[in-house]
Structure 1
Amino acid sequence: MSNYLAIATVTEVLKELLQEAVQGAAVTTMHPSKQKESPAINIYMYQVNPNKSLRNTDLPTRRSNGSLIQCPQIALNLNYLISFYGNDATHEPQRLLGSVVSAIHANPVLESQQIRDVINKIDYIRNSDLDTSVEQVKFTTIPFSLEESFKIWSAFQTQHALSIAYEASVVQIESEDTVSAPALPVHG
């Protein structure tokens, strides 16, 4: 289980992985309508879904008197759209796409040391504990049709860019509530 910083940590580790895979291109994490740099790769989390196989693993979390049995947990899948910008005449977006799919295919699972290295570099995720999570985060491609692509880019209200979608599964987040042990019976 991880704390509330797990989602931001996954995004930052993905950004670091992609920055290492490409040379001379910026890697950003902004809304696609705000992308201005070229050449660039933009990572945008466009959807979050409950993980179907782990969706109800933490029920129940409270006793009938309301006291906490275990901290509430949620298992999530994060959907990322990775877009590529650059000079089309020299196939820069396509070359960046090739670098990214190659890097993610070679490193589909976020390793603890890799996560820890990124956590130690970035102040706003310094208290993340994703590196100690039992469940590892794995990236897989999400196929989407031309119609789905059109819908996504229309929702962004910006011009289409060469893109690929990935799912990061599974990110488990646990509440920071404190579980108190039930009182022991008194024998008299």
Structure 2
Amino acid sequence: MTRRRQQSGQNTPNSGRDGFVRIISGRWRGRKLPVHDVEGLRPTTDRVKETVFNWLAQDIIESRCLDLFTGSGSLSFEALSRGASHVTMLELDKKAAEQLEKNRATLDADNAKVLNTDSLAFLKQSGTPHDVVFIDPPFRKGLLDEAIALLELNNWLSPHAVIYIEAEKEFGEPVTPAHWQLHREKTAGQVCYRLFEREGA
């Protein structure tokens, strides 16, 4: 159980919105989705999420998305609402994954897949390219660098993919491949969130 708790992602403080996440815009605008109470799980705030999806406005339509350490599913369901063609959600905690699947079914989101699995173990397989990747790992667990390396190593990224990374501020800028260009960066409290654009290697 400890390992599962450590692997649940999307760690930004939720500003008192315990128990649900809200879809901000798109097809399901205003819908609230229940969140399973997992230790350390703090869904991305509406404020941060709105900024991120403003950054992604030109990239999300018809994109194939991969959400590592999915946690609450806040980013995945927002992407689907705004026109992503498919989203794969990876979440190790069994009960959190079950809640994600219930929320997927509630929205009748046939273009989404929930996998109850370890994100890093999943990335060690040979992959299929994705256009948008969300990386919001549990803080202070040393998972980010390996996730970045595996995405490149095993063909999980399309030539011009965009990669969203959320991490604790003290972590500093993550080590990324030379062909990942930092496009946007902001800080909210103790969290720093960044968007990278990949130029074909």
TM range (shorter): under 0.3
Which protein is richer in strand relative to its size? Answer: 2
Q: Which has the higher helix share?
A: 1
Scaled by the length of structure 1, the TM-score of the pair is 0.25
The two structures have a TM-score, normalised by structure 2, of 0.24
Q: Name the structure, 1 or 2, with higher relative contact order (CA <8 Å, separation 6+).
A: 1
Of structures 1 and 2, the larger Rg is shown by 1
